[in-house]
């Protein structure tokens, strides 16, 4: 019975640490860019896009497809980097142990 209480206590502590980590991740951001920095996207640890910056030189009314491709690539890269950032931090928290349903 005592062992079960210890396991439950550890699980509660881990849950509290994970909640704090999620709050911290919401504040952390990463930036991804495409087109030699012409399109920059910032995402946070909640996989939310925080900002998109587009240099005016890349805006060509005759080539909207290129701009759309640059934005899409930058957004996808920002989300991938954000997921990796969260995964790395979660791995530190769990000691590298994979816990189903966390990520």
pTM of the model: 0.76
Structure tokens at 28: 């952390």
Could you tell me which of 16, 20, 18, 74 has the C-alpha nearest to residue 49? 74
3-state class percentages of the chain: helix first, strand second, coil last, to nearest 5:
60, 15, 25
Taking only the tens of pLDDT, the chain with its 103 residues reads 788 888 888 888 888 888 888 888 889 999 999 999 999 999 999 999 999 999 999 999 999 999 999 999 999 999 999 999 988 888 887 776 655 555 4
Give the burial class of 96: count Cβ atoms within 10 A of its Cβ; 0-12 exposed, 13-18 middle, 19 or more buried: exposed
Residues in the chain: 103
In the chain, the domains with their CATH numbers are 2-94 (3.30.1310.10)
């Amino acid at each position: 019975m005592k062992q079960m209480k210890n396991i439950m206590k550890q699980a509660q502590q881990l849950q509290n640490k994970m909640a704090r980590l999620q709050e911290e991740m919401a504040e952390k951001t990463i930036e991804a860019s495409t087109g030699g920095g012409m399109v920059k996207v910032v995402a946070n640890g909640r996989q939310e896009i925080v900002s998109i910056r587009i240099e005016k030189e890349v805006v060509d009314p005759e080539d909207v497809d290129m701009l759309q491709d640059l934005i899409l690539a930058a957004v996808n890269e920002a989300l991938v980097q954000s997921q990796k950032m969260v995964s790395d931090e979660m791995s530190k928290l769990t000691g590298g142990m994979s816990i189903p349903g966390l990520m």
